[in-house]
Structure 1
């Protein structure tokens, strides 16, 4: 099969993923309004998990196919996109984003910790099942802490029976089937593209799949731009970075470990380096004036373009 055919299948799969996760986002928005839960908490907790569902399912599918490097590249590439281009889009199109909520809640510091945790575990170039257990455990502990501090949690427990549970279950099952089917198409097409174009799976995961599975975050950002809901935008981005670094990688390596020692060329350390730079710059911008303005957004966008150029040049060498 020609490489263009597999590329087309990846694009179709990504759009199907976007449709499925959009259903999740709509449901969580209704929950937020119904239970009067903090918009930042609902974005961080529920929407970030929903929009990270593509990365999670792609990770599971690639691990089952014994190609976990695709998931690793996807997680790192998605995080780079989240911290650069996806945060830059709303600022450049509309207005600066206030970062007060993420600073005052101290979530930004937790995000830095969770982002560097898998990197620390990867110092031996191997992520095993015990590492996956650590990543998943830290994610669960943090989610419990977020729920506990939410002022709307008690209201949620009291009002849970008011939800049309059967409708929610039907939407969930339909969306889940759509996500599973689309993810299978993406993973199989990525494997085919790797052979047809001569690209390694790490590169495909870092670029094409990362952008594709980040489409829900992009869609959520654009929707919230319309209503000037910058807290939701920032909460979703921060929560998605945490989910990618812990939930996605944790689930993946529990199924199949990631061993970079077997093929050192499968995934370049320069990608991890760029992610670290992106995280540190994002942290500085968030803390400096407690806003991210247009000049800073231009810098973040430029950083992402540099990342793509470096990855492409290394791939064709």
Structure 2
């Protein structure tokens, strides 16, 4: 029975992602909203619904610390695994708005989460502040879209007046597709998580490792399925916007709402402050040089992200089991792998800046 639910969950994820991408891209065209805005809002909110369900339920049941681990783990998974896998399947073109606004915002709120958690707790006041930040972010996105697409909005209004019956029906169909896709994504991810937990338990893996890896990764499976399918279908703004938007939603909305539900706020464990949240910040910062250089995410960069997620997961397993290979593994990562990666990114950024300056210079007469 577990194996059947696992397979059905995978099928529901793929089908739900296809419906969500079709509906979201169609709604963007019908409503005159840019696909990137749809990806950053509607799709990101929908694919973050498993994180919201898990975190809110844990907060209301008195286990609010699970909410923090779920959000932090999901944000790391979204960038390293989901973005890496999407770029490995189809190289992705990055919108300039992401580099100038949304990725810096993702980095800022990740650092903000670390700062408000330094006292060991995210209070209800902190949670209210995070939730208010999401409202302001969404209002700014739609204001910016309206300002940048006034001509498109005017054409859309004229079309609606000329053909008042067809447009509502098409919009309703897109909304139905989005809703149906979200339902399939949530159900599919739930079945897939349940099956994965059973498999992990059979293998004798500890509950700590299951929580840090399978639960966080499982609640991010909708993002993975949606971004990969969106990339294959050519909706690359939705593919990348979904990931960045989901990370912003996870901190501002999922963690904010969970903190409001929790009677005593959300406890921030020392391990989260000393390791997991800094890793989440480092992963967010790593997006900037990758996105900035040519405004594309190449396949090798996607492979690099996947490799780092494999290393992060391996570290969690080694640490949880107190394996003898942990010191050697940590030494190799800190002394060789991470410095070489940072050096590579610095060279890429310097080359991109030099090429940009060269292109902007007037040609000699």
Q: What residue in structure 2 maps to residue 80 of structure 1?
A: 76
Task: Output the TM-score relative to the length of structure 2.
Answer: 0.70
Deviation readout 1:274-303 (Å, 9 max, x if unpaired): 212211211221223322223322221221
1:258 is aligned to 266
Aligned to 1:133: 128
Q: Which residue of 2 aligns with 1:308?
A: 313
Q: Please state whether the residue corresponding to 1:150 is helix, strand or coil.
A: helix
Shift of 1:85: 1.7
CA distance in 2, matches of 1:174, 1:236: 18
* CA contact 1:70–1:204 (8 Å) conserved in 2: no
Of residues 299, 302, 310, the one that matches 1:297 is 302
Instruction: Please tell me whether the aligned partners of residues 197 and 214 of structure 2 are also in contact (alpha carbons under 8 angstroms).
Output: no
Q: Secondary structure at the match of 1:117?
A: helix
2:82 corresponds to 1:122 = no
Q: State the SS of the aligned residue for 2:62.
A: coil
Cα distance change of structure 1 residues 199 and 185 upon mapping to structure 2, 3 Å threshold: same
The equivalent position to 1:107 in structure 2, one of 102, 114, 132, is 102
C-alpha deviation, 1:147, in angstroms: 0.9
**Of 242, 252, 259, which residue of structure 2 is paired with 1:246?**
252
CA distance in 2, matches of 1:43, 1:173: 15
Judged with a 3 Å threshold, the aligned counterparts in structure 2 of structure 1 residues 233 and 23 are, in CA distance, closer, same or farther, namely closer
Q: Deviations over 1:126-169 (max 9, x none)?
A: 11211110110101111110011113589499669953588788
Q: CA RMSD in A?
A: 3.7
- 1:277 equivalent to 2:282? Answer yes
Whether the 8 Å CA contact 2:70–2:212 is kept in 1: the answer is yes
Distance in 2, matches of 1:117 and 1:184, equals 30
Q: How does 1:147-186 map to 2 (within 5 A)?
A: 147-151=142-146, 155=153, 162-164=167-169
Q: Secondary structure of the equivalent of 1:83?
A: helix
The structure with the larger Rg is 2
- Matched with 1:29 is 25
How many correspondences in the alignment? 308
> Is structure 2 residue 236 aligned with structure 1 residue 230?
yes
Whole-Å Cα distance in 1 between the matches of residues 9 and 61 of structure 2?
A: 17
- Cα distance between partner residues in 1 of 2:20 and 2:29: 15
- Determine which of 52, 75, 89 is the counterpart of 1:56: 52
Structure 2: where are the runs of 5+ without partners?
323-365
- Relative distance call for 1:14 and 1:126 in structure 2 (3 A) is farther
Go from structure 1 to structure 2 and tell me whether the alpha carbon gap of 1:148 and 1:208 turns closer, same or farther (over 3 Å shift).
same
Whether 2:82 is the aligned partner of 1:91: answer no
Q: Deviations over 1:100-131 (max 9, x none)?
A: 34225x22222211222222211112112111
**Structure 1 spans left out of the alignment, 5+ residues:** none
Please report how far the alpha carbon of residue 183 of structure 1 lies from its aligned counterpart in structure 2 after TM superposition. Answer: 8.3
Distance in 1 between residues matched to 2:125 and 2:199, nearest whole Å: 32
**Aligned partners of 1:225 and 1:242: how far apart in 2?**
20
- Distance in 2 (CA, whole Å) between partners of 1:91 and 1:198 is 30
- More off after superposition, 182-191 vs 37-46: 182-191
User: Are residues 61 and 27 of structure 1, via their aligned partners in 2, closer, same or farther at CA, if it must alter by over 3 Å?
Assistant: farther
1:72 and 1:249 in contact (8 A); partners too: yes
Q: Contact conserved, 1:193 with 1:199, CA < 8 A, in 2?
A: no
